[in-house]
Structure formats: C-alpha cells, structure tokens
Amino acid sequence: MSNLKNRVFADIHVIQSLPPSCVNRDDTGSPKTAIYGGIRRARVSSQSWKHAVREMFKDAFDESELSERTKKIVEKVADQISVLSGISKEEAIKSAEKIINQAGVSTKDSEAKALFFMSNKQAENMAHMALKNPLPVKKEVQEVLNAQAGVEIALFGRMVADDPALNTDASAQVAHAISTHRVENEYDYYTAMDDRTPIDQSGAGMIGTVEFNSSTLYRYATVAVHDLKKNLDDIGAASRAVKEFVNAFVCSMPTGKQNAFANGTPPYAVMVALRRDQPVNLVGAFETPVKEGQGGYLKKTAETLKQYTQTVYDTFYAKPEHVFITAMDNSLDGLGEVSDFSELLKKTEQAVHSILQKDEV
C-alpha cells in the first residue's frame, strides 16, 4: 500500500437517462436487473461498459498503445515475426508458439487455453526476441511480456492462471450501473412483413417479442492513478490515460439492441473527484429509490446525489482535493468547479499531472 500522500484516486460519477432499451442482456435475453434497497433496479454490468470503453479507446490512442484480449496470441506474435523477417507463416507460427510457451503460457493447437491480454507493443517485442534468441531464459521472456503494457492492461489488469508472474494489477474499477428508482421490464411485440408476400395475402413473415426497460442510471468508476502511473511508468501517459478513460466512460454506450432502440443519450451530469484517501462510491444516495413524479427522475436524482455527497463529506470522509462538474442544470453546483465537458477533461488531466509530479519530488 502506498503512503497516503502518494495515493490519488479519480472517482467518476455519472447520471444518465436511458429511454426504452436493452443495452445489456442476461442469458434469457432479458435486460439485466438487480435488487437494491429491496427494490428491483435496471442494471448494466461493468463488463459491458468496460468493453464499450475499450472500443472508444481505438479512436483515442495510437494502435501501438493498445492491446487485444484474445486466445489467438500465437497468431498475433506470428504476424509480427512475419513482418520483421519475411519467413513463412508456418515457421512464424512455430517460432511464436515456442516463445509464448517459454514465457509460461500454455497453448493448444496454436491458441492460448484462455483469453490473454497482450499489447501490440508486447507482441512486437516478443517477435523481436523470438528472432534474436529462439530459446531465451524464461525470466527474460516474462520481462518482455510484462513491459510496455497497453493502456487497457494498465487500467483493467491481466490475470494469467498459468503463471502469476505475468499478472498485472488493475488500476481501474467499474461498478455495475443501476437505476436510481424502481424498474419494471416491459415487452415489445413486433411483426416483420415478408416483402414478397402478395398484397392479397395477410399475415406476418415473423413475429416475436423483445424485453426492454427505461431508467435513469447512476454510474460509477474509479482509477487508482498512482497504480496507473506505475503500470505505464510515465506521468504524461498516466495523466492522458485518466483523461481518455473519463471521456470514454462518460461518452460510451454498450451496443445491445442499439439498432432496435437507438438509445445513444448524453449524460445529464458528470462529476470527477480527485481524492487522496480512498475511492468513494456514492450509490448509497439511492438505496432509498427516487420516487416518480412531475419532472421525471433526472433532476431529483442529481439533487439526491448532491445532498448525500455533502452528508458523506461532513460525516465520514474529507472533501476531495479537486472536483470538476459538467451538468445540464445547477443541481450539483457547490460541489466543485463547473465547466463544459471538454474543459472538465482538460482540468482533470492537468490536475492529475500536477499531483503526480508533486508526489515524485
């Protein structure tokens, strides 16, 4: 555990309204839900939102900074070997599998036995090592496979059952988003017409139902910035990664049934808090569900969050060092600096960079 003065957490709180939608389904095709405060809530899993974040990263980072989670790591390294050496695909596969096995990762039929997070840079470096030294010492291979982790590995971590020496601790945590109020799932009965059916014949070519709900969500994520800096080994890279993570977490949307519902709504309010003590999830504001009424749930949700946040700070935790807010109204005014979202991102990156620099002195 780092000393308190050398720790910094970036807490991200988002209030967002979703119209009728089914962005995250369970094994039966129903929108995911959860019981909280004794009341059924809409739920969007952390895994689905992290995937959406990673998809947005493709537009924010250079390919060399990114990673892939795949069983096809032999093929990934082999592709790099082929580019560097021009040897045949078959020979490149053999060479890649040999160096990956030497790192302690088991393969079968030239695929890893489990999904493996590998950055594009790590694949390139493994290819260089395979060409330079066909059978290096295991420790040397693992050092190469651990160095230059992509931004996704630095944020979300890597767990390798074959050999814990290849593990990377995640620096980010993402909570399951839940509605701030009671939710009941509904059903859309639909029909699809066959375009070639004669006009004098009735009946649909296909019928079915789609389950959906609508909700105002409280979403939360946090980044242990000091651990992110350690994983990336660079203050500038860590500061930028925090900014891009905030941007992607706030603006991304899981893609479940998106064509059917077109549910790409903007957030209603965003609050980023930089803390020294510990991450603070404020979902407790909604353990008692927000009640429906005139004006909907958004403003009431924001007002409830503000009141609860002030109580938490007065009762349990110190106020954050920095709080940056973007909102569609003044419901969160008084909790921190208010600005538009682009300015929030800029201020977050600058504040993180300044804190990390001070902590190195």
Backbone phi and psi for residue 189, each to the nearest 5 degrees, phi listed first: -85, 125
Share of the chain above pLDDT 90, in %: 87
Instruction: Give the pairing of strands 322-327 and 337-338.
Output: parallel
pLDDT in tens, 303-318: 999 999 999 999 999 9
One-letter identity of residue 282: L
Q: Which residue has the tokens 């009341």?
A: 39
Q: Please list, in sequence order, all residues whose beta carbon lies within 8 angstroms of the beta carbon of residue 154, skipping any fewer than 6 positions away.
A: 168, 171, 228, 231, 232, 241
Residues 131 and 84 sit within 8 Å (Cβ to Cβ): yes
- Angle, alpha carbons 265-187-38 (nearest 5°): 80
State pTM to two decimals.
0.93
Query: What is the pLDDT averaged over residues 171-187?
Result: 97
Please list, in sequence order, all residues whose beta carbon lies within 8 angstroms of the beta carbon of residue 321, skipping any fewer than 6 positions away: 8, 274, 275, 276, 351, 355
Average pLDDT value for residue range 191-209: 81
Whole-angstrom CA distances from 281 to 27, 104, 272 are: 28, 38, 12
pLDDT of res. 305: 98
pLDDT of residue 1: 39
Long-range contacts, 203-209 (Cβ 8 Å, 24+): none
Query: CA–CA separation, 185 vs 42, rounded Å?
Result: 8
pLDDT per residue over 333-357, tens digit each?
Answer: 999 999 999 999 999 999 999 999 9
Q: What is the pLDDT of residues 115-165, one digit of tens each?
A: 999 999 999 999 999 998 777 899 999 999 999 999 999 999 999 998 999
2 pLDDT band (50/70/90 cuts)? very low
Tell me if residue 193 falls in helix, strand or coil. Answer: coil
Query: What is the enclosing helix (H) or strand (E) of 121?
Result: helix 120-132
The answer to whether 116 and 70 are in contact (CB under 8 A) is yes
DSSP 154-187: HHH-B--SS-GGG-B--SEEEPPEEESS----EE
Domain map of the chain by residue range?
A: 4-66+172-360, 68-149
Task: Identify the three-state secondary structure at position 111.
Answer: strand
Question: Would you state the torsion angle of the CA atoms of residues 110, 111, 117, 123, taken in this order, to the nearest 10 degrees?
Answer: 20
Q: How many CB atoms lie within 10 A of CB 90?
A: 9
* Number of Cβ within a 10 Å radius of residue 327: 19
Is 119 strand, coil or helix?
A: strand
305: amino acid identity, one letter: L
Per-residue pLDDT, averaged over 78-100, amounts to 94
- pLDDT, residue 205, reads 78
CA distance 204 to 187: 18
Give residue 361's pLDDT: 63
Distance CA 45, CA 32 (A): 8
Please tell me the predicted confidence (pLDDT) of residue 360: 83
